[in-house]
A and B are shown apart, each in its own frame.
Chain A
């Protein structure tokens, strides 16, 4: 881990100002992913701005009947919130399917969205990785790729996004609220938040440098049955091989998002429209244009079968 200077800030303005003042600055809150990566020098900030005490730790009702989740709300607290459990069960389920109790106690809402891939080649600094070091190549392509992306990948990167929470957020049409150094705020639909790898897999989100996430908003509850099925070899404390998050209405309509298949929580609007026709049709839309390796081809039938199970479960 490279040396860094550290400061704790009390306001968002102080946070973004500190970012502007310090070259190589990064925000840190829970730190469960950033610190992990700093130990391996995959992340090498020169200055850390501790934003964990900005007071963004509340969950509030919004004017339109939705929820505003403070960026620093811990995963445990978000999963346990009575409103989330009642109205956004998918989110609660996705959260408690992720990581461990210890990590969820520390990890924040914003940090969860921003966590980086768990590709083992990304984690091994001896190996070429375009995401870690732009232009260095991709060792995962042609290597051990059982866990890698089947959709949205590029010749430069086949990494997946590891978050469970983000899959639920994607299905629930969440938006990310931010503030920048000029004090300007904006809201980014989660659907527009992650950047496709293309030739620049090191650029992962549409956030500008120094732009700070302040909250994630959820529109008003959509009802329906909320199911999150995370498929993994180990029963717990493991990243998803694939996951299916769905909200299914009594008439069979609904929405679905996938984890473990692409660089972002994967949702295709056309697939939502196919849901009433069943898992095969919806999966065909979700995974259209999928490219697989010998090792991850199983993800295609697995998604379809898992989704079929979810739809069966929703029917009761």
Chain B
């Protein structure tokens, strides 16, 4: 794999499989296609970022525009985190950063320098699933599976949020510690849309893990 002189050898370049070098061959291979003319390679601004994903340290040199979601999916190839809307409207991209769940689509990767990120793959993999993943399987808390990693990351974080005493829209009394109730779970999970409509089963799965009666 040859890397053009003006293209720094970055983690991205290596991981993405030498995309740049192959581009040069394109022009010759398809003379009739409408191909961009040869031009000086203008490099979009990049920035270096280091963070830990599922316990593994990563150093990346990224186009500054890269979201945390795309850094995970396209650069680290951790595709368990899903892109459903890319605009913070569905929750499929939910990951846990330093113990808090966020929408990774609305977060620039370069802003996460030094952060510890947990994705669905970090919770558990086939053969060694996290209890929440097991519960989703048992209760059939998913159908197409596309929102599922986000639902599970959210569910894990939601139980922590309730434990930490963070109030929600349906918490009856702001000065009391919130409890794990189906009402609380439904409100708190509402940032994760499931168009297949597995909600009823998802709440059953979470209450099962939380050890409370649905």
Contact = CB atoms under 8 A, between A and B. Distances in A.
Q: In their complex, do chains A and B touch, with some C-beta pair under 8 Å?
A: yes
B91 A89 contact: no
A214 B17 CA distance: 44
Contacts, number: 109
A36 B171 CA distance: 29
Interface stretch (A93-101, A191-199, A262-270): A93-101
Nearest to B187: A236
Interface stretch (B4-12, B51-59, B105-113, B124-132): B105-113
Contacts of A100: 91, 103, 190-192
Interface in A7-22: 8
B165 A3 contact: no
Contact of A3 (B65, B100, B111): B65
B190 A85 contact: no
B12 to A, nearest CB: 15
A39 interface: yes
Contacts of B100: 76, 105
A52 B164 CA distance: 23
Contact of A35 (B91, B108, B161, B165): B108
B175 interface: yes
Given A31-B111, A32-B103, A79-B167, A237 B64 contact: no
B44 to A, nearest CB: 5
A89 B167 CA distance: 11
A6 B47 contact: yes
B88 A103 contact: yes
Interface in A96-145: 96-97, 99-103, 105-106
B124 to A, nearest CB: 20
B87 interface: yes
B45 A235 contact: no
A102 B108 contact: no
A159 to B, nearest CB: 18
A105 B192 CA distance: 14
Interface in B145-170: 154, 157-158, 161, 164-169
Given A89-B174, A236-B187, 6 more contacts: A31-B111, A35-B108, A39-B86, A92-B167, A100-B192, A101-B154
Given A6-B64, A101-B158, A35 B107 contact: yes
A235 B191 CA distance: 11
Interface of A: 1, 3-6, 8, 28, 31-32, 35-36, 38-39, 48, 50, 52, 76, 79-80, 85-86, 89, 92-93, 96-97, 99-103, 105-106, 235-237
Contacts of B107: 31, 35, 106
Contact of A101 (B64, B113, B174, B188): B188
Contacts of A79: 166-167
20 contacts: A31-B108, A35-B67, A35-B108, A36-B106, A38-B65, A52-B111, A79-B167, A80-B166, A96-B169, A96-B171, A100-B190, A101-B154, A101-B161, A101-B188, A102-B191, A106-B106, A106-B107, A235-B190, A236-B169, A236-B186
Nearest to B63: A3
Contacts of B106: 31-32, 35-36, 103, 106
Contacts of B102: 102-103, 105-106
B101 interface: yes
Given A35-B108, A96-B168, A4 B88 contact: no
Closest 4 CB pairs of A and B: A100-B191, A236-B190, A85-B174, A6-B64
Contact of B175 (A86, A103, A236): A86
Contact of A237 (B63, B101, B165, B190): B190
A36 B168 contact: no
A102 B101 contact: yes
Nearest to A98: B169
A101 B169 CA distance: 10
A32 B88 contact: yes
Contact of B111 (A50, A80, A86, A102): A50
A139 to B, nearest CB: 20
A218 B86 CA distance: 35
Contacts of B65: 1, 3-4, 38
Contacts of A50: 110-111
Nearest to B94: A102
